[in-house]
Amino acid sequence: MSDFRIGLVLPDVMGTYGDSGNALVLRQRMLMRGLDAEIVSITLADPVPESLDVYVLGGAEDSAQRLATKHLARYPGLQRAAERGAPVLAICAAIQVLGEWYETSSGERVDGVSMLNVTTAPQATRSIGEVITRPVSDRLTQTLTGFENHRGGTTLGPDAAPFARVEHGIGNGVGDGNEGVVQGSVIGTYMHGPALARNPELADHLLETALGHPLEPLHLADVEQLRTERLRR
């Protein structure tokens, strides 16, 4: 068993858009530096361990969101891990699950697990397409790129901060120019792609937060070419 463990949370219900690839990116960037790492897949059949180093969650539809919300409320290992400072990356619907509440497409309000001080309600128009944002944190310097596909309009409460500002696309969907959310060690974003394949600086930020020290940079021509192509589009 590796000393560094990446929690892939509920890929059986929160993996609609290939976001499980974020865990693969984290592991690969560790391995390319000669550092051992393993992915721990946590399904609906498993309690959520609080002892892992970093956690990733992906997107889902309404029915899958309900299952994920119930499971995380029953097994609060993710909440406890975030309380001790373990980094968590929540993609798209995972923002809503980790929030205070969200409304389904039928208008029913569902309580989230309250890791994020956000609320989400369906919007009249679906947000779909390429999105480019500028991170708010000074620990991230590169433009962020991804693919958004959601109807949620996410409003940030006073304890939450925006992850980035939209330069192209929609973002959180409530017209304030924000994309995603940051609260404590939790980062939420609507960017698919997978997000960490498109944004290696963000991937390394999560790893460095988990490790508690900086990593040697990786210079990967293919990754830079991907970023250039996406930003050009």
152 close to 96: Cβ distance less than 8 angstroms: yes
Catalytic residue among 192, 205, 213, 219: 192
Catalytic residue among 71, 92, 150, 205: 92
Q: Is 126 annotated as a binding residue?
A: yes
- State yes or no: is 168 an active-site residue: no
CB-based burial, 80-94: b 16+ in 10 Å, e otherwise:
ebbeeebbbbbbbbb
**How would you classify residue 221: left for phi > 0, otherwise alpha for psi between -120 and 50, otherwise beta?**
alpha
Rounded Cα distance between 77 and 227, Å, is 34
In what helix (H) or strand (E) does residue 8 lie, and over which residues does it extend? strand 5-9
SS3 225: helix
Rounded Cα distance between 78 and 82, Å, is 6
**Paired tokens of 109:** 């309000």
CB-based burial, 100-136: b 16+ in 10 Å, e otherwise:
bebbbeeeeebebbebbbbbbbbbeeebeeebbbebb
Residues that are catalytic = 92, 192
Q: Which residue numbers belong to the known binding site for substrate?
A: 126
